Structure 1
Amino acid sequence: MTSKNIIADLTRGDKLDGKNYDIWHRKMQYLLNEQGVLETLYVKRVLLAEGTASKHEKEIYNKWIKEDRTARYTMLSAMQDDLIGQFEIFETAKDMWDNLKITFGQTSSTRLRALNLKFLQYIKDPKHSMAEHLRVMSAMIRDLKTAGNELTDEQQVLAVIRSLPDPEWPQMKLLMTHSENIKTFNDISRHLELEAERLEVNRSVALVARSEKRSGIVPKRKKRHNNRAQKKWNQAPQVAEPKCSG
């Protein structure tokens, strides 16, 4: 089978739908090998040290970036639409490939154990917005249900609370754990998105204040009228003007 035929199969009739993973997996490896980017599935990205990387290191890194982008695009193009949204959140081809294997490529019992472990250990990625984080959690909950473990509302809520990073959310985690208004995944999603918006506004205000302080800008204050003095003036007895004798 030629690479052109495989491309046609993977982007038209044989797109990954969750049930055809085994054949999709084999065809995808062949195709990525033909494209010269198969290595990206097995090599972790190494970040360059800022300001110290040599020209050769930069060339290698840029080559990896280009190949990784090709591999990610190829895999996403060969998925059904509902799966694209689930897996495009992974930033490297290797991360996407590994998670595809966890989701579709293991026996039911092994897969369930792997999904449970991943779900219990998952912590919000600092690069993700709160909306993106909640989408990841929702996708994992769906995967667990498909694998035979349907979580209760309470388990879902507690898992989301546990996934929040401690340095930023300790007080809110405590409040949400004991809140009677948070009973479902949708409840906690609404609370977290609102709280994330509030924190972002506070950060923006603080940033503006620091910037103004550094630049020496002093906010103008409105003049206040001396209402007390005005009141005393109004209450004081008025002195009659002297009449002219004529």
Structure 2
Amino acid sequence: MSFDSNTGDYKILRILKDRNQGRKARVEILALKSGSWRKIDEHPDVFQYILLGMHSLAYIQGAFHWVGFSRNYFVVSFNISHEVYGEIPLPEQISMSYIDIGVSELEGMLCAYSNVHHQGENTFKLWMMKDYGVQESWNALFCITDPNIDIPVLKYVFANGEVLFWNMTIDSQMHDATTTVGATSIATSSRTNSPPAMATVEKPKKFAGIDFKIWQQKVFFYLITLCLQRFTFEKAMEGPKGTSEQEHFMIFEAWKHSDFLCGNYILSGIQDDLYNLYSGTKTSKELWGALEQKYKMEDAGTKKFFVARFLEYRMVGNKSVVSQVQELQVIIHDILAEGLILNEAFQVAAMIKKLPPLWKDFKNYLKHKRMDMLVEDLIV
């Protein structure tokens, strides 16, 4: 999401990739004031978009930036006001040879990074573009070799030249770690008149085995904000016919990396005892399906339990009718909370039907006017 200063409106850009459509990707834009999505033509030269979640995007100079691949890697830009694409060359050192690459932003400047995994070591390199759009202005900032660097996300540059980045690491389960790294010759720039930042989506609380449907909906939306939701239902991506072995390898590695992130985001959202049960699943799709199969059935059993309680509930004459109506309302609330629908006319009719036998005359009176009554009218 970004703010278009020309129209005074927020805009959302989304890229929908379909493995059955080969190189094509559907690009859509939503202006919040319009309230509807609008299709944008795809970039004519891009074979594949390298998108590994929100952290692989950068918004600079009024445009979104991400990595694309054709004959080599380069930065794709999309201007949010004019709705046009552009291309920016990457540093020569990473334009051909790396798989795990992306772009980020520091102090309003475009950055590019590579993270090479080799023999148990990860080597993270970062470049900053001093003059926007000029390839010769890429400046290498630092290089770190550390086995614990998995998914670095740049956050802030200090006045002394240190860079703060957020590093997601995978041990027994995913957790967040913050690391500061010394760097030299870091350029800075100020950003003025920027729109207010949009609030980030809060990570859902850990699933403990109950209320699966609610947890699943929250986690799925959280994955949407990370551009990872499709890995809960898609199989491994395959390149289109005619794809070279090298290109097929790069496509699969990019898919595997994103699927790895998605699966561990899900695992990090369940309690430790459940983590131990499901950490052995091979893909995000398999993990998501296993959780659904187990806990949706239990949710269905919960629905049947509440419905049975509702059907079997009978009011008695030796107890306050008001208190019994309130008990029945609690049962109805539980049914509604499970996603079942009980319209108000049905609730009124059911409450009248369940009145005790001593209230027979009053029941007959209410039956004739129940179509005009609400639940709150009946209680009063």
TM-score, length basis structure 2: 0.25
Q: Relative contact order (alpha carbons < 8 A, sep ≥ 6): 1 or 2 greater?
A: 1
Which entry has the higher C-alpha Rg, 1 or 2?
Answer: 1
From the two aligned structures, give the one with the greater helix fraction. Answer: 1
From the two aligned structures, give the one with the greater strand fraction. Answer: 2
TM-score, length basis structure 1: 0.37
